[in-house]
Amino acid sequence: MKLQLKIWRQKSADSTGRFETYTVEADEHMSFLEMLDVLNETLIHEKKEPVVFEHDCREGICGSCSMVINGRPHGPMQGTTACQLHMRSFKNGDTITIEPFRAKSFPVLKDLSVDRSAFDRIIESGGYISVNTGQAPDGNSLPIEKDLAGKAFEAAACIGCGACVAACPNGSAMLFTSAKVSHLGLLPQGAVEHSARVQNMVNQMDKEGFGMCSNTEACEAECPKEISVENIARLNRSYMASIMGSEK
């Protein structure tokens, strides 16, 4: 299939970007990123600069992909990262627009690559359980209800890609932050620090310049791991409780 690509090219963080148009010959069995590999090989052969895009595992789990395809983070397929998208989702003659995740807190570094280190700083502010190596009791000393463990798992399945932020009209990181707060807060091990964790992570999130949540739920719709907005409700509840009821 022959495709036309409109790709965002930006030399560096402080330079002005623009769309450039390329044509590429693709095969329906290729992954989307393999199609970009083919384009890059052609560009290199012509001694031009290849398109920079972030990628690593190419199986939908590392969270490196950070591109918006035809207006949607990670492209048209529900519950799918850009690297798992295959060209059979497109047809001969299509024009595909590819641009980086766009949010104030994710500055563009080059072409399709953005800086998502704000997410690391949110985790560093409290997204953990304070236990040193060697302090743990036997794993089976604390039974946890199967469904509760399942819920915690579903929140923990977040890959930290940032599609939720890119999808949100406010550039909010509520889905990301609430997924971590839920993962840890639902489990008895994480309950001890829950209030402090909620406050610290929300404060850090605000400090990083992420926007407020206005319940558009675009984050859930675009999340490649289909993390639920229920987590946001849980975070809001916990945040209120941590302000009103806590002695901190």
Partner 1 sequence: MIKLESNIPAGELAEKWTNYKGSMNLVAPNNKRRIEVIVVGTGLAGASAAATLGELGYNVKVFTFHDSPRRAHSIAAQGGINAAKNYQNDGDSIWRLFYDTIKGGDYRSREANVHRLAEASKDIIDQCVAQGVPFAREYGGLLANRSFGGVQVSRTFYARGQTGQQLLIGAYQALARQANVGKCKIYNRHEMLDLVKVDGKARGIIARNLLTGEIERHAAHCVVLATGGYGNVFYLSTNAMGSNVSASWRAVRKGALMANPCFTQIHPTCIPVSGEYQSKLTLMSESLRNDGRVWVPKKKEDAVAIRERRMKGNDIAEEDRDYYLERRYPAFGNLVPRDVASRAAKVACDEGNGVSPTGLAVFLDFASAIERYGKAEAYSQGNTSPSEAQVTALGEAVVKSKYGNLFQMYEKITGEDPYKNPMKIYPAVHYTMGGLWVDYNLETNVPGLFALGEANFSDHGANRLGASALMQGLADGYFVIPYTIGQFLSGEIRTPKISADTPEFMEAEKAVQDRLAKIKNINGNQSVESFHRRLGKIMWEYCGMSRNAEGLKKGQQMIRELRAEFYKDVFVPGELDEYNPELEKALRVADFLELGETMMVDALNRNESCGGHFREEYTTEDGEAKRMDEEYTYVAAWEWNDQGEIILHKEDLKFDNVELKTRSYK
Q: Is 152 in the site for partner 1 (CB under 8 A)?
A: yes
Helix residue ranges, H only, the chain: 32-45, 117-124, 146-156, 163-167, 174-186, 188-191, 194-207, 218-222, 230-244
Tell me, what DSSP letter sits at residue 11? S
Q: Is 38 in the site for partner 1 (CB under 8 A)?
A: yes
Q: Is 119 in the site for partner 1 (CB under 8 A)?
A: yes
**Chain centroid to CA 11:** 23
Q: How far apart are CA 215 and CA 228, in angstroms?
A: 12
Binding-site size, partner 1 (CB under 8 A): 78
Stretch that binds partner 1, among 91-99, 135-143, 209-217, 230-238 (CB under 8 A): 135-143
Q: By CB under 8 A, name the one of 190, 211, 223, 232 that touches partner 1.
A: 190
Angle at which helices 117-124 and 174-186 cross, to 10°: 30
Tell me, what DSSP letter sits at residue 142? S
Structure tokens at 59: 């199986």
**Chain centroid to CA 181:** 16
- Taking the complex as a whole, the smallest distance from the CB of residue 184 to partner 1 amounts, in Å, to 5
Nearer to partner 1, 9 or 86 (CB): 86
- Taking the complex as a whole, the smallest distance from the CB of residue 119 to partner 1 amounts, in Å, to 7
Contact yes or no for 162/66 (Cβ under 8 A) = yes
Contact yes or no for 32/67 (Cβ under 8 A) = no
- Taking the complex as a whole, the smallest distance from the CB of residue 150 to partner 1 amounts, in Å, to 8
Q: How far apart are CA 99 and CA 87, in angstroms?
A: 17
Q: Is 171 in the site for partner 1 (CB under 8 A)?
A: no
CB-based contacts of 194, cutoff 8 Å, min separation 6: 181, 184, 185, 238, 242
Nearer to partner 1, 42 or 236 (CB): 42
Q: What is the contact mask toward partner 1 in residues 213 to 242, using x (rule: CB under 8 A)?
A: ------------------------------
Nearer to partner 1, 21 or 78 (CB): 78
- Taking the complex as a whole, the smallest distance from the CB of residue 214 to partner 1 amounts, in Å, to 27
Q: What is the contact mask toward partner 1 in residues 4 to 33, using x (rule: CB under 8 A)?
A: --------x--------------x-xxx-x
Q: Is 192 in the site for partner 1 (CB under 8 A)?
A: no
Q: Is 73 in the site for partner 1 (CB under 8 A)?
A: no
Nearer to partner 1, 71 or 139 (CB): 139
- Taking the complex as a whole, the smallest distance from the CB of residue 14 to partner 1 amounts, in Å, to 12
